[in-house]
Amino acid sequence: MITIGGRSIQQSIAVVNNNTTFIYSDLRISPMNASAEPIPSCEVSWFSALCDDDYEFLGVPDKALLSSWEHCRNIVLSAEKGGFDRILLPSGYSLGLDTIAFAGGVAPLLRRLKLLTAIRCGEVWAPQQARQIATLDQMTEGRLDINIISSDLPGETLESAPRYRRTLEYMHILRALLNGQPVDADGEFYKFSVAPPRLQGYGGKSPLFYFGGLSEAARETAAAAADVYLMWPDTLEGVRSVVTDMRERAARYGRTLKFGYRVHVIVRESEAEARAAAVRLVSKLDASTGESIRNRSLDAAAAGVLHQGALRDRADSEGYVEDILWTGIGRARSGCGAALVGTPDQILAKLLAYQDLGMGAFILSGYPHQTECDLFARHVLPHLNHAPLSRFD
């Protein structure tokens, strides 16, 4: 039995084909703490590698894992079959597939899975972007939400502060149009007036805006206009600090935020197997290749990316900065640069610890993405109380 914050997970053992199999029952109230509250629901999402970010060996290109329609579609279908609540469709520029086009193609294939579709603010004229989103939202009957990205655009370098001011204007315009409201923009970056659009968000309400960033400008933008504040991997103390700060910032705007945590996972039946899988993943990676992969991203110099590098610098000789939090993936990845590496009960315990700190959503991934999707769905997901977040809550 493991106990997290006064809550216990009952573990039973069964013998199947002469092998010991651990079966994790529902989370239960500990007899030592009968007043413990029921575990709240969280949203659990997977990731489809639209941006040429799938490997068997990190940093070694594999034609079978490049971002083709077939490969990325299959990841999405695996996530739906596995019981995930949502799938993140990331956005790049020179790499992989266009996010909006892919979302439109995959949406009719899904019955239940929600889409978290990434957009880069400024790539598309805001009223046109709103129409694209509203169209997808109507197609999916509201199973669409938006991951707002505030990176530089291709061929452009903009300082952080003005870039986030542009993003904030863009978010306000999108939300108004998706809520069916007119826009009379007279900002620093957008000056135009448009009547209320005929096509709005499903149910007359904008999709949720997921948004991440660690810089001062990013935090203020999220506090003012996001619905879900996303974090990349961090220590438990780091998560606690950021959540406290963001709650205080949002309160100054008269708002409340939900919180999400983006991390990779490597789950195996034993800790030794999980750690061996992590070592194997980076076994063919050299430093120059890793640096090249990190630097090709448009957000390579962002505060959040730099913080992932700082975590690697603090890690032990095997790359662990905290219990089961392994930073080795960040050697060849910009952005989310760490993984939870362990057994099903270790991974589950860590996710519950993040929930105790305020996380209401998890966006997970692993290499190769379809393989790790299936493993997590089989070994961990059934033991989480999970359901998608809703714009109508």
Helix (H, G, I), strand (E, B) or coil at 49: coil
Mean pLDDT on 364-389: 98
pLDDT confidence tier of residue 71, bands split at 50, 70 and 90 = very high
Residues 55 and 170 in one domain: yes
Instruction: Name the residue with higher pLDDT: 20 or 275.
Output: 275
- The CATH number covering residue 68 comes to 3.20.20.30
pLDDT-wise least confident of 19-23, 108-112, 319-323: 19-23
User: How many Å apart are CA 111 and CA 299, to the nearest integer?
Assistant: 34
User: How many Å apart are CA 248 and CA 220, to the nearest integer?
Assistant: 11
Residues 90 and 238 in one domain: yes
Residues 248 and 102 in one domain: yes
Residue ranges in 258-302 assigned as alpha helix (H): 271-281, 287-295
Residues 233 and 98 in one domain: yes
Q: What type of residue is 29?
A: I
Nearest to 350 by CA among 389, 384, 312: 384
Q: What is the pLDDT of residues 313-351, one digit of tens each?
A: 887 899 999 999 999 988 877 778 899 999 999 999 999
Cα-flanking dihedrals φ and ψ of residue 363, to 5°?
-115, 110
Residues 194 and 93 in one domain: yes
Is the residue at 296 inside a domain? Answer: no
Peptide bond preceding 388: is omega within 30 degrees of 0, i.e. cis?
no
User: How many Å apart are CA 334 and CA 294, to the nearest integer?
Assistant: 5
Residues 46 and 9 in one domain: no
Residues 27 and 115 in one domain: no
Residues 35 and 151 in one domain: no
297, pLDDT greater than 90: no
Whether residue 193 contacts residue 183, with contact meaning beta carbons closer than 8 Å, is answered with yes
Residues 22 and 104 in one domain: no
* Chain centroid, CA 52 distance in Å: 17
Nearest to 137 by CA among 129, 145, 149: 145
How many independent structural domains does the chain possess?
A: 2
Helix (H, G, I), strand (E, B) or coil at 274: helix
User: How many Å apart are CA 278 and CA 53, to the nearest integer?
Assistant: 16
* Chain centroid, CA 324 distance in Å: 19
- pLDDT for res 290: 64
Mean pLDDT on 116-127: 94
Is the residue at 144 inside a domain? Answer: yes
User: How many Å apart are CA 168 and CA 121, to the nearest integer?
Assistant: 9
Is the residue at 155 inside a domain? Answer: yes
Is the residue at 293 inside a domain? Answer: no
Is the residue at 65 inside a domain? Answer: yes
Residues 251 and 146 in one domain: yes
Mean pLDDT on 149-156: 82
Cα-based distances in Å from 4 to 8, 37, 238, 266: 6, 12, 18, 21
Q: What is the pLDDT of residues 34-47, one digit of tens each?
A: 334 566 799 999 99
- pLDDT for res 311: 84
Is the residue at 192 inside a domain? Answer: yes
User: How many Å apart are CA 294 and CA 333, to the nearest integer?
Assistant: 5
Q: What is the pLDDT of residues 74-108, one digit of tens each?
A: 999 999 999 999 999 999 877 789 999 999 999 99
Is the residue at 330 inside a domain? Answer: no
Is the residue at 286 inside a domain? Answer: no
- pLDDT for res 35: 36
Q: What type of residue is 12?
A: S
**Residue-range definition of the domain harbouring residue 197:** 40-263+357-383
User: How many Å apart are CA 160 and CA 210, to the nearest integer?
Assistant: 19
Mean pLDDT on 181-207: 96
pLDDT-wise least confident of 20-24, 57-61, 388-392: 20-24
Residues 32 and 126 in one domain: no
5, pLDDT greater than 60: no
User: How many Å apart are CA 298 and CA 153, to the nearest integer?
Assistant: 7
Residues 31 and 153 in one domain: no
